[in-house]
Chains A and B, each alone.
Chain A
Amino acid sequence: MASYVIIGAGVAGTTAADTLRKLDPDAEITLIGHEVHPLYSRVLLSHYVEGKIERDRLFLKKPEWYLENNIVYMSGIDVLEVDTKNSFVRTSEEREIPYDKLLITSGSEVRLALDNMRGISYFRTLEDAEQMIGCINSVLTQPIHERRAIVAGGGFVALEYINILAHFKIPTTVILRSTGFWSRSFGVEAQKILQRHVEKQGVQLLTNQSTFEFLGTEDFAGVRLLDGTKIKAQMIGMAIGMVPEVDFLKSSGIKINKGILANEYLETNIENVYTAGDVAEFYDAIVERQFVMGNWTNAQMQARAAATSMADGRTKFELVTSYSANLLGKDIVFVGDVSREHADDIIQKRVDEENSTEIFVRDGRMVGAVLVGEVKERTKLTNAIRERQTYRLEVKG
């Protein structure tokens, strides 16, 4: 009887456990998770903070699901060490759990601020969401003209903060280290569209701020920018990036770069050790590059492929990764490999006051696209990347 251990019980780990159980009804499956909840949707957390859904609606698995599927779910437990020579993991309760095959889906952690004050908010887990509700309620106790929140960062989490704060009508200042939102993917035109869009709705955007200082002692009171300007505020949403959770793998011999290095089968350099989800720096067989890609669908589909590789023979992970977001009513879509740094050429296919489409080209073919505003070309562009079309062909289509 095979014994599978999965580190990380988020969407990747849980999907893998589910897939393994379907493929191997007799296997021992152990799922080890840092959090104490059954699987919940991090994507729905913003709806919960805004009060649009009840807390119960967040959960995608019932507590009894694990038992019914004969999955040993060790919740609230950390893995401290992976011994790949003797094939076991050591947990925070000092237990050693042996495995035949191991899947690491430990995900990523938010980058923390150096200071620790009331009013500093992060947004990753259900606990973070509940803490954020507390921060927001505290801002709302202030007189209307004194209310202000700051958001540090310009990616997905920043966008969620901006949407949530707008929902509560809390005036917001966004501080960006770079020239605009998603500067690693968006060109100047797309950044301008988004900047105009949020500013029109009353959001203050401060770009090119390499650093700033927190004001306050126990309670966050605002920030001081590098030029000395002070901005008073009662809360700050820290959205300055995610870091793959790999510290516990230091002595494991598993190769790590930005994340855990894996091939297109989600195999690591160590036999019988696999990875999936936000922590994986996997080889994307479609765009032919190795990178970390943290999004829900990717995590889920990688987990299915990895679990199938583990229980049913090598299975290649092939997906044109794509994800979408909405910033105060403006649609944003990313398809494929959208790293400006790794593109040979980026073509501004469309641009006007409200819309932008950029195409990422490498080795003569299209590998990615970013769309702002009108996004109805998403499916066509996704297919073009999947079919490995050259950019020229795509234009004709």
Chain B
Amino acid sequence: MKITIKVDPDLCIGAASCVTIADDTFALNDENKADVLDHGQAPGGPSYERVVEVTEDEKENIILGAQSCPTLAVSIFNEAGEQIFPEV
């Protein structure tokens, strides 16, 4: 399945909890904010938003990473564009 992962750089404070939990999906950039990766890679250059093909386990772990953010700077959407985290 595909999910869209977005980091709000205005909210991100570089706590790096997402990086600790899901380092294949999040990495701190030079601005001390979390970039979104696609399985450890950054095709097309660094980005705060990416559509990624994931397994169910990978999705669960990415959500766990998003949940760990103290400022809720990470949002995740399903293929239908519905926000699956944070719950609305």
Contacts and interface: CB of A to CB of B under 8 A. Distances in A.
Interface of A is mostly: mixed
Nearest to B29: A376
A44 B87 CA distance: 18
A333 B32 contact: yes
Interface residues of A, number: 27
A323 B87 CA distance: 26
Given A333-B32, A378-B28, A297 B16 contact: yes
Contact of B71 (A41, A300, A331): A41
A23 interface: no
B75 interface: no
Given A297-B15, A297-B16, A43 B28 contact: no
A281 B4 CA distance: 39
Contacts of A324: 13-16, 32
A43 B70 contact: yes
Given A319-B20, A333-B32, A375-B32, A296 B70 contact: yes
B17 A297 contact: yes
Given A323-B15, A333-B14, A47 B71 contact: yes
A105 interface: no
A252 interface: no
A41 B70 contact: yes
Contacts of A11: 70
A3 interface: no
B72 interface: yes
B57 interface: no
Contacts of A69: none
A37 B45 CA distance: 42
A43 B32 contact: no
How many chain B residues sit at the interface, stated as a range, is: 10 to 19
Contacts of A376: 29-30, 32
A322 interface: yes
B27 interface: yes
Q: Main secondary structure on chain B at its contact with chain A? A: loop
A43 B13 contact: yes
B68 interface: yes
A16 interface: no
Interface in B30-69: 30, 32, 67-68
A322 B70 CA distance: 14
Nearest to B19: A379
Interface string B1-25: 0000000000001111100100000
B15 A296 contact: yes
A40 to B, nearest CB: 10
A142 interface: no
Interface in A301-328: 301, 319, 322-326
A60 interface: yes
Nearest to B70: A43
Contacts of B13: 43, 324-326
Interface of B: 13-17, 20, 27-30, 32, 67-68, 70-72, 87
14 contacts: A41-B71, A43-B70, A44-B70, A57-B72, A60-B67, A62-B87, A296-B15, A297-B15, A297-B68, A300-B17, A323-B16, A376-B29, A376-B30, A379-B27
